[in-house]
Structure 1
Amino acid sequence: MAALAAATALTADSIALDTNKHGVSVAELQKHTSLENGVWVAINGEVYDLTEFLLRHPGGAKIILKYAGKNASTIFNKFHPKDVFEQFLTPEQHLGPLLGELQPAQDITEGEEDEARLVRIEKKPALAKIFNASDFEHICKQIIPPNAWAYYSSAADDEISLRENHYAYQRVFFNPRVLRNVTEIDLTTTMLGVRVDAPFYCSAAALAKLGQPEGELSIARGCGSENIIQMISNNASYTFDEIVDAAKPDQPQWFQLYVSENRDLNYKAIEKCNKRGIKGIFVTVDAALFGKREKDMRFHLLEDDDDDGDAGDNLSESGKILSAKDPGLTWEDIKKFKKATDLPIVLKGIQTVDDVLMAIDHEVKGVVLSNHGGRQLDFSRAPLEVLADVSKVLKEKKLEDKLEIYLDGGVRRGTDILKALCLGAKGVGLGRPFLYANSAYGQEGVEKLIQLLKLELSVDMKLLGVSKIDELGPEYLDIRNLHARHLVADLMYNSAYDPLRPPEFRK
């Protein structure tokens, strides 16, 4: 997504890289607006030299150049946690405090507020009108800023994997059993040794502040009130400590680790997890580089309408869209991470049976079958389909108890969760639905989403003929059509079908 690389400050609300600096006058700052003279930016009262960082900035060089010589506090605080520059800048690139007053430059990602969107925010349906996860998506699309929607909803290339992740669930049917006592339903389960109230969790999703000012903080509070695990994104819009502090004292949280080329940063993050009581570290292994997410690219805030420059820099592997963490990440790094902590290490982004077997060989605690929500390699298989293959092989090899299997991507219903559990998943992650619920209604939306999924699970388990999570198994599923992928829509059928209607906005 478009993100502004900026720095932290010597204030109560930020963290500085170096405190032994005399400072920079406003006049001096305003001289440094080009590669020739250096690109300096002021943020929260501090000045930073971003000249060398330009080409490494995930949001591209243009956005930084637009703010060269200016006070970029407003846009920086919108996109980034306070400690972001600990990862990207050297102490020498922090030039010291800004001497003098300089008004913050306008946030160019906002533009003029769309009057119709503001009306929709005012008239959005009451929470009582929300009946399922997709309702949140429908509302969120109409009330959050367009750049936020482009980032949240985008996926790689033609977005085949994005849709296939969900469609796969529609090819699996149930074999319900009857005449069983299902008076009481128990949704509780254990994931990585922690008892939780339902077998699903909030998966890591970056920059929740784009859609909701409280961002990951309100997600943490909502998950805590319902005893659901939150996986903290490595690219969250609040700091790790702020998100942990927002949770209840004993609330279970996981951490998603993106591996950077600077391994020292990774080990520092692991040590923080050790100290703050995190219950599991999920190493993202499917991001050697970012996928080509064209919705986001087309809306990219860095490009001017009259810019006739070569777009090739956006599409090269070193460009701002496709750059990522460390393509040199290997199994040897996983061994080293395991030695650095006693916390469970889980690999997030496994997509084949062979890599699950490799994970078992390396004695990690679990894997997440995931194609990054369809945001990386398009035409990656649906995680549910991979799960069916993995479960079969592990059973044949008697390896079912060697690690815990999780899954994310395309989950919208309680029935989706049950299908994954029947096929051997320990738990199921949802990413975008939590962003949508949080963006539309904040903490109350997060709680409502969790409550709806719990209700669906309870109803569906009763109708399936089971009362406990550990009673679920493959005998409750008909998966004969799971691997039969139908990518061509039946337009005649679809034109005649009267779909379920989302909630109406108040007039």
Structure 2
Amino acid sequence: MLTGAEIAKHNSSESLWMIINGKAYDLTEFQTNHPGGQKILLKFAGRDATEEYEPIHPPGTIEEALSADKHLGDVDMSTLLPEQKIVEQAVPKSTTAGDAPMTLGACLNLDDIEKAAERLLKPKAWAYYRSAADDERTHNWNRESFYSVRLRPRVLRDVTTVDLSATVLGHTSSLPIYISPAAMGRLAHPDGEKCLARVAAAHQIPYMVSANASVGFEELASQAKEGQILFYQLYVNRDRTKSEDILRRVAKAGYKAICVTVDAPVAGKRERDERAKLDDEAASDPNMQKAVKNTGPDAPDAPQDEPSQGIAQALGSYVDPTLAWHDLEWVRKASGGLPIIVKGIQCADDAALAAKNGAQAIILSNHGGRQLEGAPSSLETLLEIRKFEPWVFKKLEVWCDGGFRRGTDVLKAIALGARCVGIGRPFMYSLVFGDEGVNKVATVLREELAQNARLMGATSMKEVVPAMVNARELEQNVYDGPYESPVRALAKL
């Protein structure tokens, strides 16, 4: 059995050993191939990296990445030196969370769950989940767009019973809602995405598994209930053979469709995430600690060898920026013909091109405001498609995500033509409470949808129609310049 002192000797790029879950691994040769970059490995060289590693990697990942001779054996953890143990440093949080609920029972809505998560999550986890691009204005606009749409309810209709179900790619969902793909569930709970899968099955709603989930997609599929609807979100790898292998395995595991995410050829600048990473590195790096102490005018600069890299930047480093429309057919063939969903449509032109290139569904999304600052909300894109390419709604299913927090938000999107709506961050925040938290989000949405559908005078989602909303105020944000359809023939439909 190896000792802490033996591991500590291998703390450089020339000889890089690391401890994960009580076992030592030689990462010297692997470090330059690490998807998250070499710097993060060097930070934990000769140390125990379990706390950093475990929440963001599916079990067995490191064993798969390394040859057997790089598995060095068990470590006597009682022999570790103090400096070999990693403890996440506290990062000051927003004071707005000071009065937030701390128990699930005190959460009445999805905003309450977000506030509770801010208090309960570790700083780095909160920063990753909550972060958005640049000044985070687009994140806020996503929410504000719903306030610009007024409802036009009908009355004196028998609303004793309400059917909230929706048909999504031929599958019946009990709600016009699916769980959006979001990564790193184990940052909030040890079971991570397993919680999401279990509750999605219980509520009979689709779950779209993130390509960067911290639980393997095959493990999630192996635990799925009979008839459960699982979709797989794909980020195409620079090494296309790796994506082809994943697509074959996804199809074999029983996933119902492939969601190709197209709005992230590079990761957005998510400063909240980067700052949390920088603060964490400063707290654990002796050189940076010295620089912080020497704050006088003649003090040396802190090390600036590399920019801070947040979790999002590390996760997205493998994505292929050459992806183009013709690659949808390659995805379809590699998956054995599974339906294609294109996620990240932000204008009518691309909605038309998605239809031309055989997508069965599109998701109007600005990535939760995490990619391009200034991108339109999904409701704005929905209105743009209705204005310039209304035939698209007949050719494929139009889904939306980004900023949905209330049952009325969902109903507004349905009225404007959306088939269903994705909920991401609220489900991730709820993981701090495990299955009960995830169930709370789904239950609150179900209850709000039923109540507000009745108040609108609708007994099914088919009765939630454009005449039930007034979106004139939001229409002021919709593109009004010259427009020529990129798909003239289909536009005549």
Deviation at 1:243, TM superposition (A): 2.0
Structure 1 counterpart of 2:191, from 179, 192, 214: 214
Once residues 375 and 445 of structure 1 are traced to their aligned partners in structure 2, the CA distance between those partners, rounded to angstroms, is 24
401, 405, 414: which one aligns with 1:412: 405
Alignment coverage as a number of residue pairs: 450
1:336 aligned residue (317, 325, 330): 330
Q: Take 1:51 and 1:274, find their aligned partners in 2: how far apart are those partners?
A: 33
Residue 484 of structure 1 deviates from its aligned partner by 3.9
| Aligned pair partner of 2:450 in 439, 458, 464 | 458
Q: Counterparts of 2:435 and 2:313 in 1: how far apart (Å)?
A: 36
* d(CA) in 2 for partners of 1:216, 1:285: 23
- What does 1:353-372 correspond to in 2, within 5 Å? 353-372=348-367
Residue 477 of structure 1, aligned match among 469, 473, 489: 469
Give me the identity figure in percent. 37
Listed one character per residue, the Cα deviations across residues 65-97 of structure 1 (whole Å, up to 9, x for unaligned) are 13213443443223311244589x4x56x6433
Q: 1: distance between equivalents of 2:6 and 2:84?
A: 21
The aligned counterpart of 1:290 is 267
Equivalent residues in 2 for 1:23-102, closer than 5 Å: 30-35=8-13, 37-44=14-21, 45=23, 47-51=25-29, 53-54=31-32, 57-58=35-36, 60-85=37-62, 89=65, 95-99=69-73, 101-102=75-76
Match of 1:373 in 2: 368
What is the deviation of 1:428? Answer: 0.3
Could you report, residue by residue, the CA deviation over 1:421-473 in whole angstroms, capped at 9, with x for unpaired residues? 1111111001000011222x211111121111111111111111111111222
Residues 30-429 of structure 1 aligned to structure 2 (within 5 Å): 30-35=8-13, 37-44=14-21, 45=23, 47-51=25-29, 53-54=31-32, 57-58=35-36, 60-85=37-62, 89=65, 95-99=69-73, 101-103=75-77, 108-111=86-89, 124-127=102-105, 129-300=106-277, 301-303=280-282, 304=285, 305-306=288-289, 308-310=302-304, 313-314=307-308, 323=317, 325-340=319-334, 341-395=336-390, 398-429=391-422
How far apart, in 2, do the equivalents of 1:444 and 1:269 lie? 31
Q: Tell me if the contact between 1:33 and 1:69 (Cα under 8 Å) persists in the aligned partners.
A: yes
Cα contact 2:47–2:84 (8 A) shared by 1? no
* Distance in 1, Cα, partners of 2:339 & 2:202: 24
Look up the match of 1:16: none
**Cα offset for 1:109?**
4.9
Asked whether the equivalents of residues 24 and 74 of structure 2 are also in contact (C-alpha less than 8 Å), the reply is no
Q: Match of 1:359, as an amino acid?
A: A
Q: Distance in 1 between matches of 2:88 and 2:441?
A: 28
CA distance in structure 2 between the partners assigned to 1:78 and 1:320 by the alignment:
14
Which residue does the alignment assign to 2:440?
448
Secondary structure of the equivalent of 2:307? Answer: helix
Cα deviation, 1:298-355, whole Å, max 9, x if unaligned, reads: 1113344436112653489x98598451111112321201122221111111111111
* Residue deviations 1:146-198 (CA, integer Å, cap 9, x gap): 11111111101000110001100110011111222222100011111111100
Q: Distance in 1 between matches of 2:315 and 2:366?
A: 18
AA paired with 1:472?
A: V
In terms of mean alpha carbon deviation, does 469-478 or 236-245 score higher? 236-245
Question: For residues 364 and 465 of structure 1, what CA distance do their matches in structure 2 show?
Answer: 33
TM-score (norm 2): 0.83
Structure 2: tracts of 5 or more residues without a match: 292-301, 478-493
Matches of 2:217 and 2:464, distance apart in 1 = 36
Residue type matched to 2:451 in 1? V
The answer to whether the 8 Å contact 2:218/2:250 transfers is: no
| Per-residue Cα deviation, 1:383-428 (whole angstroms, up to 9, x for no partner) | 1100111133332xx3422111111100000000011111111110
Q: Partners in 1 of 2:248 and 2:113 — Cα distance?
A: 36
Query: What SS is found at the alignment partner of 2:326?
Result: helix
Closer/same/farther in 2, CA of residues 339 and 322 from structure 1, 3 Å limit? closer
Contact kept in structure 2, 1:63 and 1:302, CA below 8 Å: no
Q: 1:142 Cα shift?
A: 0.9
| Residues in 1 aligned to 2:139 and 2:90: alpha-carbon distance in whole angstroms | 31
- Structure 1 position 56, deviation (Å): 5.2
Greater fraction of residues in helix: 2
Q: 1:240 to 1:315 in 2, by over 3 A?
A: closer
Supply the distance in 2 between the matched residues of 1:352 and 1:53 (Cα, whole angstroms).
40
CA distance in 2: counterparts of 1:264 and 1:379, whole angstroms: 35
Q: Is the 8 A contact 1:74 1:107 kept in 2?
A: no
> Which residue does the alignment assign to 1:434?
427
Q: Secondary structure in 1 aligned to 2:394?
A: coil
Look up the SS of the partner of 1:331 in the other structure.
Answer: coil
Contact 2:48 2:84 in 1 (8 A): no
* 1:43–1:402 Cα change, 3 Å: same
1:389/1:70 CA distance change after superposition, 3 Å: same
CA spacing shift, 1:314–1:77, aligned 2, 3 Å: closer
What's the offset of the Cα at 1:108? 2.8
CA contact (8 A) 2:364 2:382 kept: yes
| CA distance, structure 1, for counterparts of residue 266 and residue 365 of structure 2 | 16
CA–CA separation in structure 2 for the residues paired with 1:468 and 1:113: 47
Question: Is the CA contact (8 Å cut-off) linking 2:16 and 2:45 kept in structure 1?
Answer: yes
Read off the aligned partner of 2:333 and give its amino acid letter.
K
> What amino acid sits opposite 2:440 in the alignment?
K
Alpha-carbon spacing, 1:348–1:24, altered in 2? closer, same or farther (3 Å): farther
Letter of the 2:45 partner, please give it: A
* 2:24–2:72 Cα contact (<8 Å) kept: yes
Contact 2:380 2:475 in 1 (8 A): yes
Please give the secondary structure, in 2, of the residue aligned with 1:213.
coil
SS of structure 2 residue aligned to 1:457: helix
**Residues 222 and 446, structure 1, Cα contact 8 Å, conserved in 2:** yes
Q: RMSD value over aligned CA atoms?
A: 3.1
Matched residue of 1:34: which SS?
coil
